[in-house]
Amino acid sequence: AQSVTQPDIHITVSEGASLELRCNYSYGATPYLFWYVQSPGQGLQLLLKYFSGDTLVQGIKGFEAEFKRSQSSFNLRKPSVHWSDAAEYFCVFTGGGNKLTFGTGTQLKVEL
Amino acid sequence: KAGVTQTPRYLIKTRGQQVTLSCSPISGHRSVSWYQQTPGQGLQFLFEYFSETQRNKGNFPGRFSGRQFSNSRSEMNVSTLELGDSALYLCASNPPGQGYNEQFFGPGTRLTVL
């Protein structure tokens, strides 16, 4: 079955610290992978996407993610977290087309 | 360029009633997807409409239905509401073109079933 797994439901980091959010996928071919962020009152916003090519992708707000086929992972990283990054982050998958499969989400809390 | 519009933003209904939600996609986008977000089940795909035709469907009962009009606006309907239908319903506007493109999400409609 096609799926994405986010093992961490909640993560707390201090402002200025680095961040890594984990995502694992299950799919027989190369997937289309995304990270979306959802903030209260802001709706869902795309941070970055991976289709093919370079395995390290850069996104908005200083985020990046690395696709590792051998580990079936697509972890999201940020070198220095800002208080405004507190939100819920979703790893998202599609095998093609507009039907997105969302992970369960990771709630990020930033301590000042 | 105007974003995705969803109306109403909030709704309160009672069990057994039916409800209709509306979504206006970004101008030029002919595909609209609908998602349900609940604390227990997370974000789940309901269906996608393209050029007034349902192109894809998720695993939801027949009480959930949708349609799309010639101007690309879409509506979804839930009949015989159940408590478990309380959720945030999100609409996504999908750009044209081959392959996959970013989906643009609306602010959602918060449905509460009492």
User: For B13-25, what is each residue's pLDDT tens digit?
Assistant: 999 999 999 999 9
DSSP string, A25-62: EE-SSPPEEEEEEEETTTEEEEEEEE-SS-SEEE-GGG
Confidence of residue B89 (pLDDT cuts 50, 70, 90): very high
B96 preceded by a cis bond (ω within 30 of 0): no
Decide if B100 and A98 are in contact by the 8 Å CB cutoff.
Answer: yes
Q: What is the pLDDT of residues B53-87, one digit of tens each?
A: 999 999 999 999 999 999 999 999 999 999 999 99
What burial class does residue A53 get, using C-beta atoms within 10 Å of its C-beta: 0-12 exposed, 13-18 middle, 19+ buried? exposed
pLDDT at site B100: 66
The whole-angstrom separation of Cα A78 and Cα B33 is: 30
pLDDT at site A25: 94
Confidence of residue A8 (pLDDT cuts 50, 70, 90): very high
Residue type, A82: H
Tell me the sheet residues that pair with B112.
Answer: B12
Contacts of B33 in chain A (CB under 8 A): 98-100
The torsion angles phi and psi of A43, rounded to 5 degrees, stand at 75, -175
Confidence of residue A51 (pLDDT cuts 50, 70, 90): confident
Task: Using the predicted structure, report yes or no on whether residue A35 has a pLDDT greater than 90.
Answer: yes
The torsion angles phi and psi of A97, rounded to 5 degrees, stand at 85, -175
Q: Across chain A, what does the average pLDDT equal?
A: 93
* Distance between A100 CA and the closest CA of chain B, angstroms: 7
The whole-angstrom separation of Cα A98 and Cα A32 is: 11
Decide if B42 and A102 are in contact by the 8 Å CB cutoff.
Answer: yes
Q: What is the pLDDT of residues A74-102, one digit of tens each?
A: 999 999 999 999 999 999 998 878 889 99
Contacts of B102 in chain A (CB under 8 A): 34, 46, 49
The torsion angles phi and psi of A58, rounded to 5 degrees, stand at -100, 145
3-state secondary structure (DSSP) of residue B13: strand
Q: Across chain B, what does the average pLDDT equal?
A: 94
3-state secondary structure (DSSP) of residue B85: helix
Which residue, chain included where needed, has tokens 């850069």?
A58
Of residues B45, B102, B106, nearest to A99 (C-beta):
B45
B74-78/B19-24 β-pairing: antiparallel
Of residues B44, B102, B105, nearest to A49 (C-beta):
B102
